Structure 1
Amino acid sequence: MTTTEQTTAPVAPRPATGIIPLPPAAARTATAAGALLTLASTFLAWTWTAEFPGDLTVNGYPGGLQVLTLTGALLTLLITLSAHGVRGLTWLTPGGKHSPVLLLALGTFATTWYAVIAIAVNLGGLANLEPGGWIAALASLATLVAALGLPADTPLEGDRTTPWKRFTHTFKAPTPEPAAPLPSWAEIVIIAIAFGLGLFVFTYGIDTEYAELFIGFMLLVCFGATALARTGLNHRLASYTAKHKNVTVTAAFVAAFTFPFTQTNDAYATIGTNILIFATVALGLNVVVGLAGLLDLGYVAFLGVGAYTAALVSGSPSSTIGIQLPFWAAVLAGAAASLIFGIVIGAPTLRLHGDYLAIVTLGFGEIFRLAVQNMDGVSGPNVTNGPNGIPNIPELEIFGFNLGESHTILGVELGKFSNYYLLMLVFTIIVVTVFRRSDQSRIGRAWVAIREDETAARAMGINAFRLKLLAFALGATLAGMAGTVQAHVTTTVTPTEFKFVEAVPPNSAFLLAAVILGGMGTVSGPLIGASLLYLIPAKLQFMSDYQLLLFGVALVLLMRFRPEGLIADRRKQLEFHSADQPGPGSPPKGDTSLSKAGV
């Protein structure tokens, strides 16, 4: 071989090895054995006293946090066997093989050790652990160590062989293998099963009775969801849902409709109702921010306009108008009032851009709150009763059906908040339909063009001001419509509910965070983001003093590791990750020509 040939000869790629120097077969066997031992430990007592919630003192019957460890260990075992090529389980890992095992092992370890630490802290020391608790802790640690010895799904080079880089590399999305064609009925069954599992997980999270169980649940869900996405199953499901869009939407709302029938405590239905209100308003904001790219920091004021309008015409004894309209008329009045306010505020301000528009909308939100606070007959006209608000809003009665009373439907007794949940679900369907139709229309494409580059959109003949005003008005209308239901759910409307930042959502800051957290420009993104931002504070009330601090930390971490949101469209994924994960036809790393072009 000549000198030239020697210098130009290709270098063999570095083998994909794990962090712990173990043969792949030994690492898989050790991981499976550790997961099996962790699973078995949940059938032993973890503590001797029932003072710790969940009753972890029973042998042979897992309870509380033990159920979460059992679930994590079972998933780890199944994915490990799938990666090992066990017949009948290989469909579980069409994309990543070993990185899902590592993530599940980490999630099981975090959940188990959190339980052990919580027992020690609550009961006063590690002496309160029974042998089952020690076995679970050591077995989950051994499983994680063994999983670190599994080879990476893609070659690791340079500093990516360090533990931290290995984990961050593990979190990246896979490219799954092509799926074998299935009959349409089989794909529809898979979609139905997926939404059924989603309903079960959501219901389990809402029904958690104590904070320790909810924290363990969130730990397992975070790592478990990421691991299952890393297997490539989400890509398979996405291909099926894209093919059967109408079936997917129907399955989603059937699952949502089923939720109140799974509840035995109306207090948990209260959380579901408030989540739907929060999510619907966030989806309306997504029209303004996600589609048109208008940064609105006073959006909660439109929710307040709808709520106050409905309260004034509801027949409340405290209403200064003293009239009572049917509910459908109150909804139209609230939506119309918000629409008018949206046009009045948007017409003079939407010629501004960026931070200037954000400051103006923030000012509008504060002006609205101060205005309704001073309309008390002393500082201003007597319209809203000032700081006292409008209490004693009567319960809704639709077609003789009083939503404030319990009713038996399909053999299940539904309380007040379950009734309002079903009503709010109807409004959510309306808002989702409006959003989808707008997004897929010519106007929606024009909004996206304005969001990406307003100058270029104007050059192509788009009337940017008119379309931005339309987005602003539509978003305000949707928020006002949701506000009419909120007024009857809370039975009281006060100015303090509509601040920019408040410990209890919805408020402008949390609404904007729900859109960004979930994924701008998508339907399911704001729904998921709003659910998380409402459910977590509702379940972890002992952290209320540090809620805003934790909220800020969560946003920083999200912007660092998932800037496109939990549910991102293809455009956002390319914008944030095309340089890290070049695919077929992607520019080489460092080439930003497509990014500059808005692709």
Structure 2
Amino acid sequence: MTTISENTQAAAVSQRDEATGLIGFLPAKAARALVLGGSGLTVAACFLAWTWTPTFPGDLTYYGSPAGLQTQVLVLGVLTALFALSSYGVKGTRWLTPAGADAAIKVAALATFGTTWYTVAAISISLGGPINLEPGGAIVALSSLLTLLGALALPFERPAVHPVDPEDTGWDQFKHRAGNGWTAFKGAFAATGTVRKLPPMHSTVEILIITGILAAALGVFTYGVGTEYDELFLGFLITAGLGFAAINKSGLMQQATQLTKKHQNLTIAGAFIAAALFPFTQTDDQYATLGVYILIFATVALGLNIVVGLAGLLDLGYVAFLGVGAYAAALVSGAPTSPFGVHLPFWAAVLVGAGASLVFGVLIGAPTLRLRGDYLAIVTLGFGEIFRIAVMNTDGTSGPDITNGSNGIASIPNLDIFGFDFGAEHAIAGFTIGRFANYFFLMLLIMAVVVMVFRRSGDSRIGRAWVAIREDETAALAMGINGFRVKLIAFALGASLAGLAGTVQAHVTYTVTPEQYLFAGPIPPNSAFLLAAVVLGGMGTMSGPLVGASLLFLIPNKLQFMGEYQLFAFGVALILLMRFRPEGMIANRRNQLEFHEHDETPATPVKAGA
């Protein structure tokens, strides 16, 4: 059995400390010292005043009390310092970097530098020049720059891999790539002296760790939703994006993923409990409003994930099924503008909305699902536009009087379920819960149903057939899978889930109009944003579309102050994400291997001693 001897590890660490990095002006040992000193100075500078006037949002004039953007820089500075201590092997910090510290230090230093210099630039532009900076602002700018320079001086070497013989068979090339990957993997950990396994933990400890992860996620989400001014939200985007990238480089995200997979049912239950606590963190309905719309958008995205992520059917008109469910529920919910004059209870309206979307899904899917690829996408895009034009023309003038045309169905009454009025405030455990918080809890229950359907269908026989169709439809048909029937089931199931969310949307918005169901627009939900949420979040996964939908709804709402540049900035962000994370933010293992099968591990392999 081959092992790595202590002498080999010591030689590898010594070689690592003598190496130079990207900018090559310092040996690695001195670079780590510069990172540690610079990050410590950055943390200390966060307790100083950065400007002399409270005119800049957040009031950065206090000593000893970080506020606003100072808090974000403080968190990133502490994170960088901890990674630097871990690179020294300080006891109690080694667990922070199970995949090696150098890459994590670089990204964390970049995050600190980015948020700091963004803040300095915002102060200078807002107040009329850098002369408005107090000494604390100048110190933190210099210290973050030194930290980044030290991080860039850390070694960055790629493993030497043997070329593939072009005459090898496909299986031989696969074995060759697997062997190179394993060699690089061993070399990466050997070169950093981090070949170690986590000690076995008691289930209680693992549950406590998962609880901490969920609590941190709730805190980050609540902070992002509750950012009170534009500068703070832009800083939050930099901090959260690069901060999570640094944590991912350290290997902590992979370990967290392993823990959550081990206790998957407990993690899902804990995630719903954490989400249910969100309204209790708010003092009014201002941000609970965003919460309920995010849940609606995320639920619809998860339904689309069945069609696109599991079955591989490109649907560009999926938002129409949301509209069918919303209109169907609005017409039978007692709205005074409904021509039917029917007021069904909520459970019946839910069945009507989901059933109407299911019927439309079957009617549209039956004649079109024999198409593939771009042709199917064009047909579904046409269906989305046909639905919008049809509801505009059924106004009693151009067609029958059903939907009131462009005016839509207005004055939809609030829900009343078993005497619980969703439009009124209620006191729960001493907290006052408003209208949007009531709908937030209802939407959370509906999302639980959708998550259960997604999990059960994905693990079932039909779910495996969807994946087979997605990977290679010709091979799946040759194996005896009825491709048309399998795709029609996916299309109908996804449509019914969208209609289910549409029934709640109709009551939350009070009014349903054709303009709410466009293919593309500045504010979701629309078909383009729904598809982007699935792709960016991670196709075929359960949590990916939920995370993607949350970000794609929150960010455009917070970037409205940018006016005509909003979609430009948003588009640039999407391009960068697809460039550096093409498999999505939360990707399944298959997609991750497909997108990164030719990537090399940034490390130098070390020969192992016997």
**TM-score where L is the length of structure 2:** 0.89
Deviation, 1:495, is 0.3
Contact preservation (8 Å) 1:176, 1:232: no
Instruction: Show the counterpart of 2:26.
Output: 22
Identify the match of residue 90 of structure 2 among 86, 93, 96.
86
Pair 1:532–1:88, CA change in 2 (3 A): same
Instruction: Show the counterpart of 2:382.
Output: 363
Instruction: Show the counterpart of 1:293.
Output: 312
Q: How does 1:426-575 map to 2 (within 5 A)?
A: 426-575=445-594
Tell me if 1:38 matches 2:42.
yes
Report the secondary structure of 1:341's partner residue.
Answer: helix
Report the secondary structure of 1:56's partner residue.
Answer: coil
Deviation, 1:154, is 5.5
Contact preservation (8 Å) 2:556, 2:570: no
Report the secondary structure of 2:237's partner residue.
Answer: helix
Contact preservation (8 Å) 2:113, 2:145: yes
Deviation, 1:394, is 0.5
Instruction: Show the counterpart of 2:285.
Output: 266
Report the secondary structure of 1:59's partner residue.
Answer: coil
Deviation, 1:582, is 7.9
CA displacement, residues 49-71 of structure 1 (integer Å, 9 cap, x when unaligned): 11111010111111111101111
Instruction: Show the counterpart of 1:162.
Output: none
Identify the match of residue 115 of structure 2 among 90, 107, 111.
111
Tell me if 1:391 matches 2:395.
no
Instruction: Show the counterpart of 1:150.
Output: 154
CA displacement, residues 425-465 of structure 1 (integer Å, 9 cap, x when unaligned): 00111101100111111110000000000000000000000
CA distance in structure 1 between the aligned counterparts of 2:282 and 2:55, rounded to whole angstroms: 26
Tell me if 1:340 matches 2:344.
no
Pair 1:320–1:176, CA change in 2 (3 A): farther
CA displacement, residues 450-489 of structure 1 (integer Å, 9 cap, x when unaligned): 0000000000000000000000000000000000000011
Contact preservation (8 Å) 2:315, 2:380: yes
Pair 1:406–1:140, CA change in 2 (3 A): same
CA distance in structure 2 between the aligned counterparts of 1:325 and 1:544, rounded to whole angstroms: 42
Identify the match of residue 181 of structure 1 among 200, 207, 213.
200
Contact preservation (8 Å) 1:95, 1:177: no
Instruction: Show the counterpart of 2:334.
Output: 315
The sequence identity of aligned pairs, in percent, is: 63
CA distance in structure 1 between the aligned counterparts of 2:33 and 2:575, rounded to whole angstroms: 38
Contact preservation (8 Å) 1:300, 1:498: yes
Contact preservation (8 Å) 1:269, 1:417: yes
Tell me if 1:282 matches 2:296.
no
CA distance in structure 1 between the aligned counterparts of 2:350 and 2:565, rounded to whole angstroms: 37
Report the secondary structure of 1:408's partner residue.
Answer: strand
Pair 1:310–1:153, CA change in 2 (3 A): farther
CA displacement, residues 518-556 of structure 1 (integer Å, 9 cap, x when unaligned): 000001100010011111111111124233333332332
CA distance in structure 1 between the aligned counterparts of 2:62 and 2:515, rounded to whole angstroms: 48
Contact preservation (8 Å) 1:96, 1:176: no
Deviation, 1:212, is 0.3
Contact preservation (8 Å) 1:537, 1:544: no
Report the secondary structure of 1:287's partner residue.
Answer: helix
Instruction: Show the counterpart of 1:164.
Output: none
Tell me if 1:304 matches 2:323.
yes
Report the secondary structure of 1:505's partner residue.
Answer: coil
Deviation, 1:155, is 5.2
CA distance in structure 2 between the aligned counterparts of 1:482 and 1:386, rounded to whole angstroms: 22
Pair 1:544–1:473, CA change in 2 (3 A): farther
CA distance in structure 1 between the aligned counterparts of 2:372 and 2:410, rounded to whole angstroms: 39
Between 1:174-183 and 1:345-354, the stretch displaced more is 174-183
Deviation, 1:98, is 1.1
Deviation, 1:238, is 1.4
Contact preservation (8 Å) 1:391, 1:493: yes
Instruction: Show the counterpart of 2:131.
Output: 127
Deviation, 1:156, is 9.0
Pair 1:226–1:177, CA change in 2 (3 A): farther
Greater length-normalized contact order (CA 8 Å, ≥ 6 residues apart): 2
Instruction: Show the counterpart of 1:212.
Output: 231
Deviation, 1:17, is 3.4
CA distance in structure 2 between the aligned counterparts of 1:550 and 1:36, rounded to whole angstroms: 33
Deviation, 1:410, is 1.4
Deviation, 1:402, is 0.7
Instruction: Show the counterpart of 1:97.
Output: 101
Contact preservation (8 Å) 1:176, 1:235: no
CA distance in structure 2 between the aligned counterparts of 1:553 and 1:123, rounded to whole angstroms: 28
Instruction: Show the counterpart of 1:231.
Output: 250
CA distance in structure 2 between the aligned counterparts of 1:390 and 1:500, rounded to whole angstroms: 20
CA distance in structure 2 between the aligned counterparts of 1:431 and 1:486, rounded to whole angstroms: 15
CA displacement, residues 239-292 of structure 1 (integer Å, 9 cap, x when unaligned): 111111111111111111111111113110111110000000000000000000
**Which amino acid counterpart does residue 78 of structure 2 have in structure 1?**
L
CA displacement, residues 94-136 of structure 1 (integer Å, 9 cap, x when unaligned): 1121111111110010001000100111111111111111111
CA distance in structure 2 between the aligned counterparts of 1:558 and 1:140, rounded to whole angstroms: 25
Contact preservation (8 Å) 1:17, 1:156: no
Pair 1:43–1:426, CA change in 2 (3 A): same
Identify the match of residue 380 of structure 1 among 379, 399, 416.
399
Q: Give ranges in structure 2 of 5+ residues lacking alignment.
A: 1-11, 162-183, 603-610
CA distance in structure 1 between the aligned counterparts of 2:553 and 2:210, rounded to whole angstroms: 26
CA displacement, residues 541-590 of structure 1 (integer Å, 9 cap, x when unaligned): 1124233333332332233221111111010011110111489xxxxxxx
The root-mean-square deviation of aligned C-alpha atoms, in Å, is: 1.9
Deviation, 1:356, is 0.4
CA displacement, residues 171-226 of structure 1 (integer Å, 9 cap, x when unaligned): xx999843221111111111111011110011010110001001101101111101
Instruction: Show the counterpart of 1:61.
Output: 65
Tell me if 1:410 matches 2:429.
yes
Report the secondary structure of 1:413's partner residue.
Answer: strand
**Which amino acid counterpart does residue 17 of structure 1 have in structure 2?**
T
Instruction: Show the counterpart of 1:3.
Output: none
**Which amino acid counterpart does residue 46 of structure 1 have in structure 2?**
W
CA distance in structure 1 between the aligned counterparts of 2:471 and 2:160, rounded to whole angstroms: 35
Identify the match of residue 245 of structure 1 among 255, 264, 270.
264
Report the secondary structure of 2:253's partner residue.
Answer: helix
CA distance in structure 2 between the aligned counterparts of 1:533 and 1:248, rounded to whole angstroms: 24
Counting matched residue pairs gives 558
Between 1:377-386 and 1:231-240, the stretch displaced more is 231-240
Contact preservation (8 Å) 2:159, 2:601: no
Q: Following TM superposition, where does structure 1 have runs of at least 4 consecutive aligned residues deviating by more than 3 angstroms? A: 14-17, 152-157, 173-177
Pair 1:582–1:454, CA change in 2 (3 A): farther
Identify the match of residue 141 of structure 2 among 126, 137, 143.
137
Tell me if 1:48 matches 2:64.
no
Deviation, 1:503, is 1.0
**Which amino acid counterpart does residue 103 of structure 2 have in structure 1?**
S
Pair 1:271–1:473, CA change in 2 (3 A): same
**Which amino acid counterpart does residue 126 of structure 2 have in structure 1?**
N
